[in-house]
Amino acid sequence: MSARPEAQAAAPLAFQPDESLETFSDMLARSIVGKAGKDWRTELWPTLAELGAFAALAPEERGGYGGAHTAAIACRVLAQAGIVSPFAISAATVARALAQIDRADERLGTIVRSLEDSAAVATIALHEEDALPSLLDPKSVLVRDAGGYRLTARKRMVAFGAEADWMLVPVRSAAGGTGIALIERAKAMGALKPCTLIDGTPAADLELTEYPLREADVLATGEEARRLLLWMADAFAAAQCAESVGAMRALVNTTAEYLGTRKQFGQPLSANQALRHRFVDMEIMLAKAETMATVAAAAVDAEDADDRRRIVATARYIVTRSAWKVSQEALQMHGAIGMANETPLGRYFKRLLALSLWFGDEDASLNAAFA
């Protein structure tokens, strides 16, 4: 399950049953029915806020559950409903990371609170030119000048980049150190080029040249920046594992319904023994993915960063392989109708494909697990 046996013992691998979280999951699932394809800010965000989905991710000292398991539940339910939203990257990742920054900064505190109560949305610019995220070795350069800083950056496929209120940009100093810059979208609209990813996720390319920043716009530098960037990468990957599980569950449920109702030669397809065996294989792959997504969520809240990285990478590898198997089998068992726009299969298929590539393919996850 992990590159090192002892890594498994470093993170909690199981969660105690929590009736409150189970109730939260059921309420969320019922409340978002029919919201797929709708505008997330006007149709989804008010519902999530009313249910307390954002407040639940706040630290315990501010009345929330504060754990990745809570975030994973929401991500899984949203993905199963076919909803593409910034919840995973904003609420489950960036908001929780910013809350970890320990400094007396009224502006930063206001931003964190606005993210936790759904008044604002944030994202992080993971990619530059390569397919893999540029976190610790970005080409984006931050140079100090008399009035603060100047940032030159070129970021690609920033999820919700043209819609988020705030964007975190991994940078390096002229001396080669790591940093995190904060960009306010309203002040950088001219530098954003909107696009749409294959699964319908709105994104944007960002290009800045000598963009002025204040001292307060540099959130972290050095070891603190490195720690936060690695944590956000693992938190976002774990949230995406939960999203993949939700999409896979939708495909399995849809396939079960189709096999039970579609008839051939006077018998439902579920009467075919070969198809039954293939469907059982789908359920087994889904069960493996569900288990590993839970392990990944537990690892995010673990203290050891190296063990966390290996566990999350291992989980992502297994979830990615499971997603490929489940999506392929679902399409094949539906036949040609599975590719029709009238069925939701194509949407879930593309969603799983996109989720599997944010941090590189399965080989990239395998390499990270054994690094």
Model confidence pLDDT, tens digit, residues 266-312: 677 765 778 888 889 999 999 999 999 999 999 998 878 899 999 99
Domain identity same for 231 and 348: yes
Q: How confident is the model at residue 5 (pLDDT cuts 50, 70, 90)?
A: very low
Taking the CA atoms of 35, 60, 306 and 14 in sequence, report the sign of the dihedral they define: negative
Structure tokens at 299: 């690892």
pLDDT above 90: residue 362? no
Instruction: Using the 3D structure, point to which of 190, 221, 252 is the last residue of a domain.
Output: 221
φ and ψ at 6, to 5 degrees?
-70, -20
Domain identity same for 134 and 193: yes
Confidence at residue 134, expressed as pLDDT on a 0 to 100 scale: 83
Confidence at residue 14, expressed as pLDDT on a 0 to 100 scale: 52
pLDDT above 50: residue 4? no
**pLDDT tens digit string along 170-199?**
999 877 789 999 999 999 999 999 999 999
Give the Cα separation of 111 and 104 in Å (integer).
Answer: 13
Give the Cα separation of 163 and 186 in Å (integer).
Answer: 9
Which 3 state secondary structure label does DSSP give 201?
A: coil
Quick one: what percent of the chain has pLDDT higher than 90? 61
Domain identity same for 100 and 28: yes
Domain identity same for 113 and 148: no
Taking the CA atoms of 111, 112, 113 and 118 in sequence, report the sign of the dihedral they define: positive
Q: What value does the mean pLDDT take over residues 42-53?
A: 91
Structure tokens at 136: 């610790």
pLDDT above 80: residue 6? no
More confident site: 63 or 141: 141
Structural domain harbouring 250: 224-369
Q: How confident is the model at residue 66 (pLDDT cuts 50, 70, 90)?
A: low
CATH of the domain at 356: 1.20.140.10
pLDDT above 60: residue 8? no
Confidence at residue 72, expressed as pLDDT on a 0 to 100 scale: 93
Instruction: Using the 3D structure, point to which of 120, 142, 158 is the last residue of a domain.
Output: 120
Domain identity same for 205 and 86: no
Confidence at residue 78, expressed as pLDDT on a 0 to 100 scale: 96
CB neighbours of residue 26 within 10 Å: 11
DSSP code of residue 302: -
Q: Across all residues in the chain, what is the average pLDDT?
A: 87
Residues in the chain: 371
Q: What value does the mean pLDDT take over residues 47-53?
A: 91
**pLDDT tens digit string along 155-164?**
999 999 999 9
Give the Cα separation of 355 and 358 in Å (integer).
Answer: 6
Confidence at residue 365, expressed as pLDDT on a 0 to 100 scale: 81
Q: What value does the mean pLDDT take over residues 309-320?
A: 95
Q: Which of 132-146, 202-216, 248-262 has the highest mean pLDDT?
A: 202-216
Confidence at residue 344, expressed as pLDDT on a 0 to 100 scale: 83
Number of compact structural domains in the chain? 3
User: Does pTM surpass 0.75?
Assistant: yes
Structure tokens at 46: 């008010």
Give the Cα separation of 306 and 249 in Å (integer).
Answer: 30
Domain identity same for 161 and 270: no
Q: Contact, 270 vs 260, CB < 8 A? A: yes
Domain identity same for 233 and 199: no
Confidence at residue 273, expressed as pLDDT on a 0 to 100 scale: 73
Q: Contact, 26 vs 3, CB < 8 A? A: no
CATH of the domain at 28: 1.10.540.10
Domain identity same for 338 and 265: yes
Q: How confident is the model at residue 21 (pLDDT cuts 50, 70, 90)?
A: confident
CATH of the domain at 170: 2.40.110.10
Domain identity same for 150 and 89: no
- Listed residue (63, 61, 128, 121) closest to 92, CA to CA: 121
Domain identity same for 228 and 364: yes
Question: What is each CA distance from 158 to 166, 194, 202, 357, in whole angstroms?
Answer: 12, 9, 9, 14
**pLDDT tens digit string along 106-159?**
899 999 999 988 999 999 999 998 777 888 889 999 998 887 899 999 999 999
More confident site: 11 or 150: 150
The counts of H helices and E strands in the chain are 11, 10
Q: Contact, 172 vs 142, CB < 8 A? A: yes
Structure tokens at 236: 């976002």
Domain identity same for 11 and 70: yes
Confidence at residue 17, expressed as pLDDT on a 0 to 100 scale: 62
Q: How confident is the model at residue 88 (pLDDT cuts 50, 70, 90)?
A: very high
Q: What value does the mean pLDDT take over residues 359-364?
A: 81
Question: What is each CA distance from 290 to 71, 220, 286, 294, in whole angstroms?
Answer: 14, 34, 6, 6
Confidence at residue 3, expressed as pLDDT on a 0 to 100 scale: 38
Instruction: Using the 3D structure, point to which of 76, 94, 120 is the last residue of a domain.
Output: 120
Confidence at residue 237, expressed as pLDDT on a 0 to 100 scale: 96
Query: Following DSSP, what letter does each residue of 49-103 receive, concatenated?
Result: HHHTTTGGGS-GGGTS--SHHHHHHHHHHHHHTT---TIIIIIIIIHHHHTT--S
Domain identity same for 255 and 203: no
